[in-house]
Amino acid sequence: MNKLLATRVAAIACVVVPFVSSAAQDPAKDAPTTRDTVLNPRLLPSEIEREVTDAFNSANTVRATGAYEVESDRVVPGDVAVLNGPLTIAGRVNGRVVAINSDVILRPGARVEGQILVVGGNVDGKDAAFIGGDVRTYRQRLTYRQEGERLIASGSSEEDARWWHRRQRWHSRSYSDLRLVSAKTYNRVEGLPILIGPSFGHRFGDLRLQIDALGVFRTGDDLEWNSQTVGHSLKTELSLGRGTGLAVGGRLFDVVNAAEEWQLSDVEVGLASFFLHRDYRDYYNRHGGSGYFRLSPLRGLDLTASLSDERWSLRKTLDPFTLFRNSQDWRPNPGMDEGRFHITNGTLHFDTRSDEDDPRSGWKITADYEYGSGRTTLFGATTPGVRDPAVDDVTKYTRGFLDLRRYNRLSPEGQLNLRLVAGGWLSGDELPLQRRFSVGGPGSLPGYPFRRTGTGDDVRQCSNGVDIPPGVPAQCERMVLAQAEYRGDLWMSLFDWDWNDSWAGGGWRHRAQWVVFADAGRGWLVGSRAGEIQYPKGDLPSLSTFKTDLGLGFDAGMIGLYVAKSVSDSKEPPNFFVRVGRRF
Amino acid sequence: MRTLGTAIVLALGLATDIRAQQSASRDTPGRTEGQPAQSAPGIDVSLPTSSSPNYAGPVVRTANVIADADLRKLLQNGFPAHLSYRADLWSRSGWFDDVESTVEWDVVVRYEPLTKTYRVARYVGDRAENLGRFERYEDAQAAVARPYQPPLPARHTRSRQYYIVVLDVEVISMSDLDELERWLRGELRPAVRGKRNPGTALGRGISTLATRLLGGEKRRYEQRTETFRVGNRE
């Protein structure tokens, strides 16, 4: 390092020395010895940029833009700064002279008591004038902009700050774009949905208005223009405050939604669909409009109330391209209820996690209360006994959902994470199929296969094991799932990779962890007691009926490799699975 | 026809996510400066030297996190590198360790094609600190590598404490899409937190997998100090 520094200093000296004149050869009689330096770096040093702009912006400086002259009978008591001169001095300057992108012309008899600093110009007439200080001349011009009378160099911290604020678009004043982006995730009923349309945002002080008007084009089947392949998503929001505050907004939509989004992330579902021909969600179409009001009293806490009027309809299974197993059939998208519904939601989000992607401590709580009413025009198929055959088409229900996560660091190397998910029917009529639950699979009970059922009572999908509709729909009206995991940092070095509390080789630059976990959960129907599937509304199933599993894993940060084994069903074989990111 | 069409549309859709990498292969300036001596990329976090009080905050050193060719190509094609740091002060007491306080700062490296220079700046809150403009990429790396002591003093407490510093390196130009995606997905919360990898779920997943496996786009480094008590290390 020192050798490199020495080399650079020597190199600079070699460049600089030929340009350094040996001070003024024949100075004015009373001129003191001054240094006269001419520098020609390709870049104007940032400290010089700062020096000249500070001088120009100083309130005590006589400053001018364009040609300026200090006449022979004039005395300037302080500094003089000129931008895009030239500056001609015939009189006296008691301070220093700064010329920016400008020449300085010294007339015979001129006196400058202080320094002369010239950027992007020359000094003429030095020999016939008195110069009390050093003369520094930089050939490189200053690049700048002006805000009013204020000069800002392009290399300044102020300019960096301006650039930064411009990049922080959420806080920017306004924008308008034409968007062409893919949306949500690859799935078997849409393929890859693409969004196209204008996007607009504007800030009025603390108020912020956003509008997006986007068309949805679905690529899952033939490239045709019809109601199956085309949708829309229009959204507007007026918010007050940044981070905390309140907002009111509205949305018009014709989009595809998943029935249970809480199990796996969009990324995982999309990757599994595109690569492995496995879609871990079921879908339905929502067409309608909604309005909402959101209050964010604290950072990390928000409460939202929304009201919507929407029509639900089926989405048939398409055959989008997948990288592997492309010739196989997809799991059919189960039929769901169709009809028109009014949905009222109250939702709370509370998030104090230390990091969204890699939380070490904190809470993440999502709680949702939903009141739905409407008329069902078509009931989706279910296993016999799941629905009351006498149910009419008018529906009123309430439903609750809670996802509570707590992340705890037990030591610098280990952490214990806990999650409780509970949801289900609260009152009123039976839940529509869109609002029902299941457990099992990599997102909930990985020791059990996803949507696979055997004979007998199935407490994961709430079926009796016979007459199961295509696609094995989620049919449970209530569900509880508890998950716990202990994570420990790994201290090891593999394949000569440098372990420094992070892997630093081969692209894996993440802290690795070993994971041991346990899960327990089940679903059930609400009604008079029937076997192990249905319980009265005030009862909880016995813990002995819960499905449980244990597992081990290796989480490299980006990808985690896990194996889980059912405990409650010894005949279930172990399941190997991959998670992209954390389990929860 | 159908497969071809699907493939074309899929490629179009994914193009939004991988455009940075695609553009990186175009218009690459023909700069051939030698690479500096390479040590493992990462961060080093240390407590102040024994002559300094422990409560002055950790010293963070960054090494070679922008050294690889992919990131350099992205920079030269106009995609600034965003180094986002977060330092946590943890204390050990009771059953669980607690985060006592946190400081975040950012370092941005961007290339100015007009002047053919690399510009490095540190941002702490709304305050920007210009770390310099450099003609050589190695000098920009050296500016990034300068030690920094965030204002995160240890607490005067009997509990043991330690620091953890996390550095995320990503190409800043792509992160805007993440916010849009959340917004369009109907999430009612404003995206005021986090700087996750951008793009669509599938596109993000694929590009994340591919680029991380290849050492691209976004990386995370983490380091922690030994535990200490104020005025008395353990």
Q: How many CB atoms lie within 10 A of CB B213?
A: 13
**DSSP 3-state of A19:** helix
Which A residues, 511 through 530, put their C-beta within 8 Å of a C-beta on chain B?
A: 511
Q: Which residue has the higher pLDDT, A96 or B192?
A: A96
Better-scored residue on pLDDT, B1 or A540: A540
**Band of residue B145 on the pLDDT scale cut at 50, 70, 90:** very high
What average pLDDT does the segment A193-216 reach?
A: 89
Task: Provide the percentage of residues in chain A whose pLDDT is more than 70.
Answer: 89
pLDDT of A267 reads: 84
Higher pLDDT, A185 or A72: A72
pLDDT of residue B32: 32
Question: What pLDDT shows up at residue A61?
Answer: 94
Residue A462, pLDDT > 50, answer yes
Question: What is the residue whose two structure tokens read 């992205």?
Answer: B74
Question: Mean per-residue pLDDT for A190-207?
Answer: 87
The larger pLDDT score, comparing residue B74 to residue A571, is at A571
Chain B contact for A392 (CB, 8 A cutoff): no
- Confirm whether B172 is domain-assigned: yes
**How many folded domains does chain B comprise?**
1
User: Is the model more confident about B208 or about A377?
Assistant: A377
The pLDDT of residue A31: 53
Q: Which pLDDT does position A21 carry in this prediction?
A: 37
Residue B140 domain-assigned (yes or no): yes
Under the banding of pLDDT at 50, 70 and 90, the label for residue A368 is: very high
B51 Cα to chain A: minimum distance (Å): 24
- Chain A contact set for B102 (CB, 8 A): 354
Task: Say yes or no to pLDDT of B106 above 90.
Answer: yes
- Residues A494-503 have pLDDT tens digits of 444 444 444 3
Residue A167 pLDDT greater than 90, yes or no: no
Q: Given an 8 Å threshold on Cβ–Cβ distance, is B190 in contact with A170?
A: yes
Which of B14, B202, B211, B213 to mutate to probe the A interface, most A CBs <10 Å?
A: B202
Structure tokens belonging to residue B21: 């990498």
B34 domain-assigned: no
Range of the domain at B192: 2-24+40-233
pLDDT > 70? residue B46: yes
Assigned domain for B33 exists = no
The SS3 assignment for A15 reads: helix
- CB-CB under 8 Å, B40 with A504: yes
Which of the two residues, A197 and B207, has the higher pLDDT score?
A197
Nearest CA in chain A to B163: A412
* pLDDT number for residue A159: 80
| Residue A157, pLDDT score | 78
Judge whether B102 lies within some domain: yes
CA pair distance B197, B200, nearest whole angstrom: 9
Overall average pLDDT of the A227-234 stretch: 90
Q: What percent of chain A has pLDDT over 90?
A: 65
- pLDDT-derived band at B172, boundaries 50, 70, 90: low
Average pLDDT on A25-52 reads 71
Q: How confident is the model at residue A255 (pLDDT cuts 50, 70, 90)?
A: very high
For residue B99, is it within any domain?
yes
What are the C-alpha distances in Å from A201 to residues A238, B107, B126? Answer: 10, 27, 22
Q: Is residue B20 part of a domain?
A: yes
Determine, yes or no, domain membership for B95. yes
Q: Is the pLDDT of residue B3 over 50?
A: no
User: Which residue among B6, B106, B213 places its CB closest to the CB of A191?
Assistant: B6
Q: Do B41 and A504 touch (CB under 8 A)?
A: yes
Mean pLDDT calculated for residue range A87-108: 96
Enumerate residues 6+ apart whose C-beta is below 8 A from A433.
A259, A334, A335, A336, A337, A380, A382, A473, A474, A475
Judge residue B27's burial from the number of C-beta atoms within 10 Å of its C-beta, 0-12 exposed, 13-18 middle, 19 or more buried: exposed
For residue range B152-163, list pLDDT tens digits in order.
999 988 889 999
A51 touches chain B (CB under 8 A): no
Query: Percentage of chain B with pLDDT > 90?
Result: 26
pLDDT at residue A307 greater than cutoff 90? yes
Task: Name the residue in chain B with its Cα closest to that of A326.
Answer: B3
**Residue B149: pLDDT over 60:** yes
Q: Which pLDDT belongs to residue B85?
A: 95
pLDDT in tens, B180-230: 444 545 443 333 333 333 344 555 555 555 444 433 456 788 888 989 888
Nearest to A509 among B98, B203, B219 (CB): B219
More confident: A564 or A197: A564
Averaged pLDDT for residues A240-250:
89
Are A192 and B10 an interchain contact pair (Cβ–Cβ within 8 Å)?
yes
* Confidence category of residue B51, pLDDT binned at 50, 70, 90: low
Contact flag B130-A511 (C-beta cutoff 8 Å):
no
What is A425-451 written as a DSSP string?
Answer: EEEESPPPGGG-B---STTS-TTS-TT
Out of A154-158, A302-306, A445-449, least confident range: A154-158
State the average pLDDT for chain A.
87
By mean pLDDT, which of B79-93, B157-171, B199-213 is the weakest?
B199-213
pLDDT score, position A386: 93
Residue B29 tokens, joined: 């300036």
pTM to 2 decimal places: 0.75
Distance CA(B143)–CA(B138), nearest Å, equals: 9
Beta bridge partners of A68: A87
Rounded distance, CA B161 to CA A307, Å? 48
**pLDDT, tens only, A532-583:** 999 999 999 999 999 999 999 999 877 899 999 999 999 999 999 999 889 9
